[in-house]
Structure 1
Amino acid sequence: MKAESKLIQGEILVVDDQPDNLLLLSTMLTMEGYQVREVISGKLALRVVKATLPDLILLDINMPEMSGYEVCQQLKADSDTKDIPIIFVSASHYALDKVKAFNCGGNDYITKPFQMEEVSVRIKNQLAIRRLQVELTAKNTDLENEIRHRQKIEGELLKLNQQLKILATVDGLTKVANRYYFDEMFEREWRQSNREKSSLSLILCDVDFFKNYNDYFGHQAGDLCLKQVAQAISEVVQRPMDLVARYGGEEFVVLLPQTPAASALQLAEKIRHKVHKLNLYHPLSATSDRVSLSLGVAGIVASSKHSKEQFLAIADQALYQAKQLGRNRVILGSLS
């Protein structure tokens, strides 16, 4: 345990214009062994980072004078600060806000109100990735300076690259793809659909009343629930070209290349039934006594008429409608 504490220690800069949020995060992170600095504005954050580089930044989005998006863009444009991991912390659950956060250089996104266990895991993951990147850079320098040890060093680099790839592309809890990898594959499949004029579909899945489940059974049971849901989705989505990813929190996303909306709708129903058949007791759900999913489906043939962000928003809106209509159902979104 002592060795683990040393591994995860680091300096974290918390940026939020709300003193209560600063106090809460600072107190909890300090208790976990981190050195914490607090600032209440984006402009002040930029000055503080220039003075002393933190290991990681927790960044609020909606702040006066300068938003978190602007702060992130400036940091990522500076060679001295571009590699600092940035985790956005926001009350917004909208997909477009999350997409914007990742597009401007954010490494992760946490929605308020947050669970401290989730914050802790995401911080550890980003710090681990950053440390592997630093170590990988150091190994590359050694390789250039010590040609005679090339084979030994290349073996170490291969191992580090494998570890980095796992950390960078796989969700540590559910073992499906993570949000970063989904964004990368979504961009690739969007371009291919546009080029080949082929169908592309998305399914957004949300575990119904998961917070109630988590609060009632505890975080360990909640984590196990998410693992089982991810496994159930993966068992339904079997084509090698398809992708199942954790979208964030209790949300999952399925990317379906060369798949029309009608087929995606059928697949979404299979996913819903598969999860329901897990028979995970959920006494605090208003829609079922078992864990269930709400799903939003969207299909398109990519073109210049629509952006991939608009396409994602259609699936997100369909998911919202599924929740509004009582949850535990599938809704197909429309481009019109």
Structure 2
Amino acid sequence: MMGNLNHIEETPLILIADDDETIRVLLRRVMEQEGYRVAEASDGTTCLESFARLQPNIILLDARMPGIDGFSCCLQLQSLPGGDRTPILIVTSLEDRASVDQAFQAGASDFITKPIQIAVLRHRVRRLLKTGKVVDELRRQTEREQLLRTLLLRQMRESPSLDEVLNTTVSEVRHFLEADRVVIYKFSYSKDAVVVSEAVQPMLPSLQQTIAYANWFAEKRELYNRGHVVSTPDLNQADLPLSMIKFLQQAQVQAALEVPILLEDSLWGLLVAHQCTQPRQWFPFEIDALEQLAGQVALTIRHTILYENLHKLTQRLHLLATLDGLTQLANRRRFNEYLQQEWRRGAREQTHLSLILCDIDFFKGYNDSYGHQAGDECLKQVALAISQATRRPADLVARYGGEEFAVILPNTSVEGALYVAEEIRIKVKALGIQHDTSSVDRSITLSLGVAGIVPHHDTSPVTLITAADQALYRAKLEGRDRVVLQAHAEI
């Protein structure tokens, strides 16, 4: 994007394309007297090759050359990378209106006639170089604005990820500046800084997982806090702490541009560009672009923090709305949601879905004898034991009623569900919670009903619940403290 930046940094390069050696010598001498660098081409083909290789600032192109003439060459130059931005001065012996029109139609910026008037040539070249610089500056301004728009659009997307935004920012900035490395530092409470995002040239060392210590920024921190940019064209001449110099040498940094990222008037971090191949003068438009980007990054960080806090609050509210306050299991609402979800999935994938309904035997008598506080503690211990018997993340344990619990087992056959149910029964009984008023055992026990089905779209989860409830009813009728399976034929 910044291929013509060298036009400003270095002495302008003039490409002279003319088959007349005498003319080329004359033009070279004049241009070199003006302080320009000069390259030559003796025909149109060589001119095209030289342009692609050298990327000159301006081309002096003879209209009449063997092979590819000046007009055709000018036209072809427009299709080469950078050709449409490079001024072309056609040198011609023709002054008729048709030739002038042909020159401009081919893409020429201006023309000059033979015999060449040196003063006119010098003036035209200076004017075209100045115009080229203005065009380059406008183009870079447009690119900068486009970059800002692109990043802003990314940041305005629904539910933006901060990591994604930061990674996009460093990548776009490195491309925009043609820098060797761009990083975003985040300051910690200790005022040390860590790299949270990086875009770096291959073969250069990465700064990820490295720490920039607080004392390195001590002298500049007040500047950062006021939003000032720190531009260092040559780090070899900078007055920096010795430890920081060693760190930058290891990172092969020779020039740096540091732009603060301020969040609510406090320093959050830095947007930093590194040049590693050579010292570099940072231009005002580059500094301005990074300042604007740092402001956009700060807005995004604020937006992301607000979004993440809102998301956490929403999740917390949803959790509270679907959680049983006493046992911390899923509540009846969550049970219904999850059963519907797994029913649809089972119908779609034609997989087994099993359900276990559990009931604490003679729990009313336990409450009456030991009190509601003891009853609540009993429910919590039973809930924990049931949860420990279900090991898969997809299994859901819910409080189904007062002393009733339910276990949804996706992708589980009735054989598997029977195994889980028996393990639940054994674990609860092993708790040894005293229950002297029970007619089954002197400790808390469970009755469990099991049912399983492969769901179909033309049935509903009520079918499965009814079957498990019937099995639970039979378990109670048959003496409690047992597991009963509802036969497939009855579902």
The normalised TM-score by structure 2 is 0.37
Q: What aligned pairs does 1:36-75 form with structure 2 within 5 A after superposition? A: none
Contact 2:323 2:330 (C-alpha < 8 Å) held by counterparts: yes
| 1:148, distance to aligned residue in structure 2 (A) | 12
Contact 2:396 2:408 (C-alpha < 8 Å) held by counterparts: yes
When residues 152 and 204 of structure 1 are mapped into structure 2, their CA distance, relative to the original with a 3 A threshold, is same
When residues 264 and 151 of structure 1 are mapped into structure 2, their CA distance, relative to the original with a 3 A threshold, is closer
Q: 2 CA distance for matches of 1:233 and 1:155?
A: 33
Establish whether residue 208 from structure 1 lines up as the match of residue 361 from structure 2: yes
When residues 284 and 154 of structure 1 are mapped into structure 2, their CA distance, relative to the original with a 3 A threshold, is same
Q: For residue 477 of structure 2, what is the amino acid of its counterpart? A: Q
Contact 2:322 2:330 (C-alpha < 8 Å) held by counterparts: yes
Contact 2:344 2:457 (C-alpha < 8 Å) held by counterparts: no
Q: 2 CA distance for matches of 1:151 and 1:263?
A: 45
| 1:159, distance to aligned residue in structure 2 (A) | 4.2
| 1:230, distance to aligned residue in structure 2 (A) | 0.5
**2:396 counterpart (229, 240, 243):** 243
Establish whether residue 181 from structure 1 lines up as the match of residue 346 from structure 2: no
Q: 1 CA distance for matches of 2:367 and 2:353?
A: 34
Report the number of matched residues: 191
* Higher radius of gyration, 1 or 2: 2
Q: 2 CA distance for matches of 1:269 and 1:221?
A: 25
Q: What aligned pairs does 1:153-302 form with structure 2 within 5 A after superposition? A: 153-154=306-307, 156-302=309-455
Contact 2:324 2:330 (C-alpha < 8 Å) held by counterparts: yes
Contact 2:399 2:406 (C-alpha < 8 Å) held by counterparts: yes
For residues 157-187 of structure 1, the C-alpha deviation after alignment (integer angstroms, 9 at most, x for no partner) is: 2343133022112211101111111111101
Q: For residue 169 of structure 1, what is the amino acid of its counterpart? A: T
For residues 4-49 of structure 1, the C-alpha deviation after alignment (integer angstroms, 9 at most, x for no partner) is: xxxxxxxxxxxxxxxxxxxxxxxxxxxxxxxxxxxxxxxxxxxxxx
CA RMSD of aligned residues (A): 2.0
Contact 1:314 1:335 (C-alpha < 8 Å) held by counterparts: no
- In structure 2, the gaps of 5 or more residues are 1-299
Q: 1 CA distance for matches of 2:301 and 2:469?
A: 55
- Greater RCO (CA < 8 Å, at least 6 residues apart): 1
Q: 1 CA distance for matches of 2:416 and 2:456?
A: 20
> Counterpart in 2 of 1:33?
none
Q: For residue 239 of structure 1, what is the amino acid of its counterpart? A: R
**1:331 counterpart (462, 479, 484):** 484
Q: 2 CA distance for matches of 1:183 and 1:297?
A: 17
- In structure 1, the gaps of 5 or more residues are 1-146
Q: For residue 329 of structure 1, what is the amino acid of its counterpart? A: R
For residues 119-152 of structure 1, the C-alpha deviation after alignment (integer angstroms, 9 at most, x for no partner) is: xxxxxxxxxxxxxxxxxxxxxxxxxxxx998566
For residues 279-318 of structure 1, the C-alpha deviation after alignment (integer angstroms, 9 at most, x for no partner) is: 0000111111100000000011111453210111000010
Q: For residue 300 of structure 1, what is the amino acid of its counterpart? A: I
When residues 306 and 153 of structure 1 are mapped into structure 2, their CA distance, relative to the original with a 3 A threshold, is closer
Q: 1 CA distance for matches of 2:342 and 2:301?
A: 42
Percent of residue pairs bearing the same amino acid type: 54
Q: 1 CA distance for matches of 2:462 and 2:341?
A: 14
When residues 241 and 159 of structure 1 are mapped into structure 2, their CA distance, relative to the original with a 3 A threshold, is closer
